[in-house]
Every structure is written in structure tokens, then in C-alpha cells.
Structure 1
């Protein structure tokens, strides 16, 4: 099996490690806009060879593990240059923009929109983890538009990675992800912003911040070059989610201001039910 990976950050490099662990007869080609990322991946045998255009005809699957704005920039060209046996899989966090872009492309059947619900706040191949995808969900969108034989190959690969497959349309994906992923990143960034604005002394933050603060702002360490384009592409759904979130924040602020302890406790008790929803998440 010949695999190509464009983007050797956390997701791309972790994918390379996992596939190399699973398959004995595999050649992994990789490319990254960062020379240091590419060199690190080669020197540490995360990939076998640098991916060049001359290799496209040899690939079974070509993964796009790059920021979503870059996926839009290169996907059509990639589809044009790969052969009719190569499946191109994008791994971005937004789906409607890329699905709309290639909906009428002559090679649409060789494209699969996928989103692995896996990751950390860290980036780069140095953070690669071959267990990153274990027991995680991968969302596949508009699978009815992907060639069935190629789709089966992709699904078998994801299952071999110990992933759970969920299918939905692109609109549904982007709406759900705005609430359960994109909003939490914005919350983390803005909590970090608020504390940094009010606490000018960095030592005070370091000395007084507990584990609760650290876990809440963890995502605030995520890559801006990856997340800013996500927020832009999923703007409509994110603004809707923010409106709901801000309304809830304001309501809770009102309860504090009016010393409404009974309603405050009731509100928090109702929210405690989230622990049952998240019970199965490791």
C-alpha cells in the first residue's frame, strides 16, 4: 500500500505512525510546507520518503492533513493530478466549504470528506502519537458521492486504526462541531485572554492558577494558523453557538448579581448531567 500525507503536523504524523504500525507492506510519502517538519519526519522515520508529484500515480490514498484554508487551495489541483485509483481524503474540521467546492468536480467520486475527532493542543511532528486515534470517532461526510470500492478501502483502514465510523452530511457535521469543538476552543482562547488582560503579573497567574484553570485554557495553546481558518469557514454556525453561549453566561451573571443562590444551584445541578453524557469518553 502506498500512502501520501500532505501536512506532517500532529494529525498527519500520528497517522503515519499508526499506519506503519498496522501494515507491513506500506510506503508512506509525506510533504509539509515547513522544511523543519519535513526534515524531522524523515530523520525520525515517521515517513519513508518525501512526497513529490511524481509519486501521485503510485498512491492508494492521499490524505490532506493541513489547515482548512489550504485544503480549499489545493484539493482541486490534487484531484486533477492523481489517477483514477487514488482516493483523496481531507481531514479538516469543516466540511461544507470543501464539499461545496468539489461537488461538480469530474473527480468527485475519488474524494472523501473525513474528520477524525482526535487531537491535542500541541502541533508538529515532534508531538506525533501512534495511539492518538485509538477508540476515537471519525466522521465521514457525503459518502454516497464517493466511489464505493474506494470508500470500502478507506473504511477498512479506519477500522484497522481502531476508530469508530459515523456518517452525516456536511451541514449537519459543521453545525454539531461548532458546538462541541469550535466553541470550546473559542472559550479557551478567550478565558486565557481575559486572565492575561487582568493579571499583568505572569508569576501571579502561574502561582495562583489551579488545575481547573489549566484544563479549561488547555485548548488556548492550539495553533492559530489552524484555528483561525476554521472559525472563518464555519462562521455562521459558530456565531449561532456563541449567541447561545453568551446568553447563558449573561443569565448566570444575573443570578450572581441578584444573589439567587437557589436558581444558581438548580442551574448547575442540571448542567451536572453532562457527566453522564461524557461517561464513555476517555
Structure 2
């Protein structure tokens, strides 16, 4: 592997660049970002060797790490401007609409739909770090539609970055992520909103905020530019997740209103089982 191009030089794109540079010191990385500040910082931090909007025709890999609502157009434009030996990988958090849009593209075999389950609540090139991807899960969708020879280039990078590969169809991916990722972010943002509204009446409320509040609302610091499009791109699955969540909130509200402590205790005890499940997943 000699040359990679990365479009979107924030947390994910920047972390891929830093990790790839560490594993392949002779690698040339070109890159682009719509933000001139991000582009400047990517140069300063040594993520890219040069900036250019389109990849060179002989690039081995092109990685697209931009918000979900930009990816269809960006993918189509990128595929039209690559050589026959280049593989394009997107890192978007939703996959069904994207895969449907590209299913009949003449260069579909040069595209790999991927999603690394990695991130923090911070954004931008300065938030990136090479270890972000280490031992994280990389979900790949519709792998059978990607050219066998070109897939080897992706495997070389994923193996070097110590990513654990999992394979899912796009619909399954979006359905599961709505519950275990997208709903978590919505909950965190709405908790933050609720407390900010309360702060309008009580300026001292944050004096009483402990580690529980900080950990629960942490995701509300995530990039709106990334998360707002995810909610619309994965609309149907997120609505299903929200319906279940709102139903559970309504149920616990009723039990609190009725002072039903024993029922609340029983519910919480049952929900505690998630601790064992999460411990097994570590």
C-alpha cells in the first residue's frame, strides 16, 4: 500500500490518517476537508502530506469520513474520478440508504460500505488520535459486492490497525445501531436540554451535578453536524427505538406518580441484568 486519500479530516478521518502513518511510515496520505481550519490543522498535525479535493488516479484507498447526508453525492463523485485499482470506503453511521443509492452504480465493485464502532464526544482534527481504532469493531456491509482483489487492500489496512471485523447487511446494521448508538445520543442530548431549561430558573443546578450526570450527558457534547443527519438518514429505525423508549419512560413516570416503590425496584433489578451482558462483551 502506497497511497491513501481521506476526505473528512475530523475525529475519524484524522485518526485513520494517524494510525495508518504509524503502521506504514512510507505511506503518502492526501486529504481534503470542507473546513479550511480542519485542513490547516491536519497539515500541522502531520495527518496528510498534501491537500487536494480529489484522490490521485493511482490511490490505493479513498476513505470518506464526512456527515451522512453528504455521502451519496460524495461517493458518486469520487467513484467517477478514480482509477480501476482504487477502492473507496465510507465510514458513515448509516448504511441502508447509501447501499441502495449505489447498488446500480457502474463502479459498485470499487466501493466498500464500512462503519467503525469507535469515537468520542469530541470532534475535529485535534480530537483525533492513532489509538482510537485499536481493537475496535469494524462493521462491513454487502461485502460480496466489492471486488475481491480490491478488498485485500482494505484488509491490509484493517489488520494493521488491529480492527475486529464483523459482517452485517445494511438493514440489520441500521436497525441495531438505532438502539445501541443513535438512541443513546438522543437521550444524552435531551437530558442536556432538560437540565439547560431548568438552569434558566436555577443557576446553581450544576453545582449539584456529579459523575452520574456527567457520564450520562457526555454524548451531548458530540458534533451536531454529524448527528443531526444520522437521525434523518435512519429515520424509521430511530422512530421505532424512540417509541419503545418513550413507552418505557411513560411507564416509569406512572409508577413514580403512584409511589409504587416495589414495582420500580423490581424493574430496576431486572434491568440490572444488562450489567452482566455488557461485562461479557468486554
TM-score normalized with structure 2 length? 0.96
Q: Is the 8 A contact 1:67 1:92 kept in 2?
A: yes
Matches within 5 A, 1:44-63: 44-53=45-54, 55-63=55-63
Question: 1:10: how far off?
Answer: 0.4
SS at match of 1:25: coil
Matches within 5 A, 1:1-282: 1-53=2-54, 55-200=55-200, 203-280=203-280
Counterpart-to-counterpart distance in 2, 1:86 and 1:246: 45
Question: 1:171: how far off?
Answer: 0.3
Deviates more, 1:206-215 or 1:175-184: 206-215
Counterpart-to-counterpart distance in 2, 1:281 and 1:5: 31
Question: 1:97: how far off?
Answer: 1.1
What is the number of residues matched between the two proteins? 281
Structure 2 unmatched ranges of 5 or more: none
Deviates more, 1:152-161 or 1:24-33: 152-161
SS at match of 1:28: strand
Q: Is the 8 A contact 1:5 1:51 kept in 2?
A: no
Q: 1:36 to 1:256 in 2, by over 3 A?
A: same
SS at match of 2:180: helix
SS at match of 1:264: helix
Q: Is the 8 A contact 2:95 2:171 kept in 1?
A: yes
Please report the RMSD computed on the Cα atoms of aligned residues, expressed in angstroms: 1.3
TM-score normalized with structure 1 length? 0.96
User: Structure 1 runs of 4+ off > 4 angstroms?
Assistant: none
SS at match of 1:106: coil
Counterpart-to-counterpart distance in 2, 1:161 and 1:281: 20
Question: 1:47: how far off?
Answer: 1.1
Q: Is the 8 A contact 1:93 1:230 kept in 2?
A: yes
Question: 1:163: how far off?
Answer: 1.0
Structure 1 unmatched ranges of 5 or more: none
